[in-house]
């Protein structure tokens, strides 16, 4: 381990380690030399963890350590400094290669997502593959326009002159992705970084090993390896990467690890984008179309990676007298979606790992919660499945209301007046997304005005992230910075201010000696008062 104490943080939900790849070694050569054995390591303050081990005689030589990470960054910086990534041609060639990869390897991507998360084929396509295609397509279509300098008006004090804002790539950037949408949340920021003209290192999540391995293979096969690389691995590899000097880091994951990433970045004054999460509320008023509301909540919870999404509905707030009707509607629609026995449904993802499964079971089995389950609660440890579960009347001090659930469990909090939702939501860290279901226009305005969140959606859930014209990002505990579409390009670019002047009309007013007449004229110019300027030029007061 390096100086960063990443162990208990990055390992909080990692079941196994993965192989590392980077530096100047080819991936195939590196694989032949290594043979990894995974092991579990318990940490007293966290639920689960993992680390990576190698054969003792190879451990010192072959692990991806700080030295190899440093060589990797140097290689990429050399490629970036050559200027190749800045050209429109290079950017387009890499984006076209990604588009080709997405078309040719859709089956392999779908299979990897099923191995890691049991994602149904259609869900994998809609939530990951099609979104990556859309991102790539938009970048190819708009890139030339994004790269154009933006003209800016100049003032009379710099006359004659012109000015512009020139977007330029930051340099060598690091993308650390997460396991719940392991393909999309890897490729989407990489597409943005490439569009902006950067060299990129991608560190996929070891908790989704099939997708991580596939990404390493595909990026090596399709993209320019002198500028775009993948490093697989767990805690040691991530630590080695974070010890390096980057020009930007994008991390997707928990707020706990986000603090570690930010602390590492601060050592080099590296800017960061943190895409985190939080408890995303859905407030449901009694004036809604009940069937449509139930279906959309289900789509934003159980049909969204079995609730394992940072923007999925984490809990519901509704009126006490309306809650039974809402529960009945959810029950009815859940049966339509997943059948009478949802544990056998092929249309619902599984829990990612035994550790995550155990964490969710602990939340369900808490004394304050277990007797309030009104639907579901069944679990199968071998299949890593938990049935869609609804808990009615959850006390605020229950564990399930204190931490992000990230699973197929839905607490419903009841209130006497819907306006009471504001104090409940504000008592928790600002969420990544906040949802409201109502036909009341005043309630909509008040909700938008009073609730601060990364994003907000009225009368639906989750799908706001598919709107490319909207930035995706959090606020405070739920993250900082944003990306998606043009926002990705901007986030991985520096907007450089450029002022152009000629050698003509070089006024002496700015130069010493500072006479009273110069002072009057200069003040008039700065104020922009035309009358005073004319009077000053004429020598009048």
Q: Tell me the average pLDDT of the chain.
A: 89
Q: Domains (ranges, CATH) in the chain? A: 64-275+487-492 (3.40.605.10), 279-470 (3.40.309.10), 508-540 (no CATH)
pLDDT score recorded for residue 541: 58
Residue 27 has pLDDT above 50, yes or no: no
- Contact of 472 with 495, CB cutoff 8 Å: no
pLDDT tens digits, 34-52:
333 333 333 333 333 332 3
Burial 243-278 (b: 16+ CB within 10 A, else e): bbebbbbbbbbbbebbebbeebbeeeebbbbbbbbb
In this prediction, residue 62 has a pLDDT band, given cuts at 50, 70 and 90, of low
Pairing of strands 479-480, 281-284: unpaired
In this prediction, residue 5 has a pLDDT band, given cuts at 50, 70 and 90, of very low
pLDDT tens digits, 82-133:
999 999 999 999 999 999 999 999 999 999 999 999 999 999 999 999 999 9
pLDDT score recorded for residue 338: 97
Give 337-396 as a 3 state SS string: HHCCCHHHCCCCCCCCCHHHHHHHHHHHCCHHHHCCEEECCCEECCCCEECCEEEECCCC
pLDDT score recorded for residue 118: 96
- Reduced DSSP (H G I as helix, E B as strand, rest coil) percent helix, strand, coil of the chain, to 5: 45, 15, 35
Residue 23 has pLDDT above 80, yes or no: no
User: Annotated catalytic sites, by residue?
Assistant: 275, 310
pLDDT tens digits, 218-242:
999 999 999 999 999 999 999 999 9
pLDDT tens digits, 419-449:
999 999 999 999 999 999 999 999 999 999 9
Q: Of 364, 406, 400, which is closest to residue 254 (Cα–Cα)?
A: 406
pLDDT score recorded for residue 450: 98
CA dist 275 and 279 (Å) reads: 14
pLDDT tens digits, 350-398:
999 999 999 999 999 999 999 999 999 999 999 999 999 999 999 999 9
pLDDT score recorded for residue 156: 77
pLDDT score recorded for residue 244: 98
pLDDT tens digits, 138-185:
999 999 999 999 999 998 778 889 999 999 999 999 999 999 999 999
């Amino acid at each position: 381990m390096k100086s960063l104490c990443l162990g208990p943080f990055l390992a909080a939900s990692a079941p196994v380690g993965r192989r590392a790849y980077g530096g100047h070694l080819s991936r195939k050569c590196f694989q032949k030399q290594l043979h990894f054995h995974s092991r579990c390591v318990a940490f007293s303050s966290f639920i689960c963890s993992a680390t990576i081990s190698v054969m003792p005689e190879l451990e010192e030589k072959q692990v991806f350590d700080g030295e190899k990470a440093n060589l990797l960054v140097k290689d990429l910086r050399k490629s970036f400094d050559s200027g190749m990534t800045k050209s429109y041609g290079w950017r387009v060639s890499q984006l076209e290669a990604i588009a080709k990869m997405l078309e040719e390897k859709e089956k392999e991507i779908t299979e990897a997502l099923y191995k890691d998360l049991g994602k149904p084929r259609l869900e994998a396509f809609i939530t990951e593959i099609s979104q990556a295609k859309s991102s790539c397509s938009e970048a190819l279509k708009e890139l030339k326009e994004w790269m154009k300098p933006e003209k800016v008006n100049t003032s009379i004090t710099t006359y004659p002159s012109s000015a512009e804002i020139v977007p330029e790539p930051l340099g060598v950037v690091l993308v650390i992705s997460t396991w719940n949408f392991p393909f999309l949340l890897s490729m989407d920021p990489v597409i943005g970084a490439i569009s902006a003209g950067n060299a990129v290192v991608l560190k996929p999540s070891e908790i989704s090993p099939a997708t991580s391995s596939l990404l390493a293979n595909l990026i090596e096969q399709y993209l320019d390896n002198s500028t775009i690389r993948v490093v697989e691995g767990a805690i040691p590899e991530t630590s080695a990467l974070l010890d390096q000097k980057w020009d930007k880091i994008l991390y997707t994951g928990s707020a706990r690890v986000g603090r570690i990433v930010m602390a590492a970045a601060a050592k080099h004054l590296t800017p960061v984008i943190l895409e985190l999460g939080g408890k995303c509320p859905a407030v449901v008023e009694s004036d809604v179309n009940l069937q449509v509301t139930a279906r959309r909540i289900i789509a934003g919870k159980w049909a969204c990676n079995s609730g394992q999404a940072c923007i999925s509905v984490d809990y519901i707030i509704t009126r006490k007298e309306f809650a039974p009707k809402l529960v009945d509607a959810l029950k009815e629609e859940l049966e339509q979606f997943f059948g009478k026995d949802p544990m056998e449904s092929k249309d619902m993802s599984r829990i990612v790992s035994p550790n995550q499964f155990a964490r969710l079971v602990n939340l369900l089995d808490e004394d304050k919660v277990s007797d309030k389950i009104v639907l579901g609660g069944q679990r199968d440890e071998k299949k890593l499945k938990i049935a869609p579960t609804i808990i009615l009347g959850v006390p605020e001090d229950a564990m399930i209301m204190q931490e992000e659930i990230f699973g197929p469990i839905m607490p419903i909090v009841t209130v006497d007046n819907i306006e009471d939702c504001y104090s409940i939501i504000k008592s928790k860290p600002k969420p990544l997304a906040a949802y409201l279901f109502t036909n009341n226009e005043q309630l909509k305005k008040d909700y938008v005005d009073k609730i601060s969140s990364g994003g907000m959606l009225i009368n639906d859930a989750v799908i706001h992230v598919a709107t490319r014209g909207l930035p995706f990002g959090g606020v405070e505990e739920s993250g900082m910075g944003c990306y998606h579409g043009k926002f990705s390009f901007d986030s991985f670019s520096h907007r450089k201010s450029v002022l152009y002047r000629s050698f003509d009309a070089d006024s002496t007013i700015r130069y010493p000696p500072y006479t009273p007449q110069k002072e009057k004229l200069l003040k008039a110019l700065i104020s922009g008062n035309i009358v005073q300027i004319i009077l000053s030029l004429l020598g009048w007061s």
